[in-house]
Amino acid sequence: MTVGVVGAGRVGPALAASLRLAGHRPVAVSGVSDASRRRAAALLPEVPLVTPSEVLGRADLVLLTVPDDTLPGLVAGLAETGAVRPGQLLVHTSGRYGAGVLDPARRAGALPLALHPAMTFTGTPVDVQRLAGCSFGVTAPEELRLAAEALVIEMGGEPEWIAEEARPLYHAALALGANHLVTLVAQAMELLRTAGVAAPDRMLGPLLGAALDNSLRSGDAALTGPVARGDAGTVAAHIAELRTHAPQSVAGYLAMARATADRALAHGLLKPELAEDLLGVLADGAADSGVGGAE
């Protein structure tokens, strides 16, 4: 099939490049910013940059790879202007939305698919390699399910069916895991630098890799550290140090420590007799920091 991309962000060019490896032919891409144009040139060389309407006019399969909040308006606009062609495969990559957001295009005859790669993208050629084995959240009308899953497999991915009504929860789970992980790691690296560690990335790499592997294998049983052990004195010292050296990190530490304590308690890892002092320390820390939600 001929392939077009509307929105040359980090995702679209990589998916189109992977489809090219599967034998399809990218023929058009739209992008406004200089960064988008550079990404398109790097991943889709010699593919012309055109308007979104022209992309739909040239391609059998169109990838709509725009921000979530932009997607509904884009779909409605393309349908209203007659850019959508009957029988055209229209694929969006939003994690938040299912196939329903494409209803205006579907009424114009398009075949709607929601294919969301559960991967973080850099906008460089390495993204194409990372798609190998990547899970995709797939939502489509039942009659298009096999076609949607086949496209994912062609891109080297693993299809995972997500019901239309479950898309927001599915996306929240991924954001909680991946996006917040970046924030946590960045904060940890900053704190280690402040503590005098010359190579915080080298120190954290093996530790975080092992923690991730353990948690994927064992879930809550992998919890370790002072919160799971109920070391209230250590946690109090942490809060005091963070308040002095990195006050912007206190709220995050308290929120994650409370969540960790709750899970450790629920799974029998944190002894109830130790939990009382620990939760008291966290509540006091939240009160001193003006953080709501502590009890």
**Tens-binned pLDDT, residue by residue, of the chain (295 aa):** 999 999 988 999 999 999 999 999 999 999 888 888 888 889 999 999 999 999 999 999 999 999 999 999 999 999 999 999 999 999 999 999 999 999 999 999 999 999 999 999 998 889 999 999 999 999 999 999 999 999 999 999 999 999 999 999 999 999 999 999 999 999 999 999 999 999 999 999 999 999 999 999 999 999 999 999 999 999 999 999 999 999 999 999 999 999 999 999 999 999 999 999 999 999 998 887 665 544 4
Place of tokens 């946690």: 235
CATH 3.20.20.70 fits 2-162, yes or no: no
Terminus-to-terminus CA distance in the chain, angstroms? 58
Amino acid symbol at 35: A
Q: Is 201 helix (H, G, I), strand (E, B) or coil?
A: helix
Q: Is 67 left (phi over 0), alpha (psi -120 to 50) or beta?
A: beta
Tokens matching residue 286: 């939240």
Phi and psi torsions of 273, nearest 5°? -70, -25
Closest alpha carbon to 138 in 147, 149, 122, 126: 149
**Domain boundaries defined on the chain:** 2-162, 169-289
